[in-house]
Amino acid sequence: MRRPVRFLKTLRNILFGTAGIALFHWNTAHAAVYGGGGLAAGLGAAAGLGGIIGATSISQLIINVITFILNIVLILAILAVIIAGLYLITSAGEEGQKDKAKKIIFYALIGILVVIFSRAIVMFINHLF
């Protein structure tokens, strides 16, 4: 019973750490606005960070949103592979747990391939326009 609790605490720490990094990047633009540069400096700092905010047209905004969503899905698929690896390690020889971990890894790898091909399609369409 103690292993799942420890795993959940570790997962919580990873998620809070990721949120902290995201807040740090947001604070860069926030500091530029309220540090005396005004709104223009804040928007300039945010555009320098890239991501969704850096779009200059509707088509670029759509591509940035799609790319952002694909990045999130890719991160979740990689986390699924890590979680499945932990299931495999902690299975202690139980065939049911091993099979569950193998299925998670298999489907997560398929998801990673789908995301990679989707990104290739988005990049191809982006270069057409």
The predicted-structure confidence for 31-45, as pLDDT tens digits, reads as follows 544 556 666 665 566
Burial (CB count <10 Å: 0-12, 13-18, 19+), residue 58: exposed
User: pLDDT tens for residues 25-84?
Assistant: 545 555 544 556 666 665 566 555 555 666 677 877 888 888 888 889 999 999 999 999
d(Cα 16, Cα 96) in Å, to the nearest integer?
Answer: 31
Torsion of CA 19, 21, 25, 27, to 10 degrees: 70
User: What are the C-alpha distances in Å from 128 to residues 13, 54, 121, 123?
Assistant: 42, 20, 11, 9
Report yes or no on whether pTM surpasses 0.75.
Answer: no
Encoded amino acid at 48, one letter: G
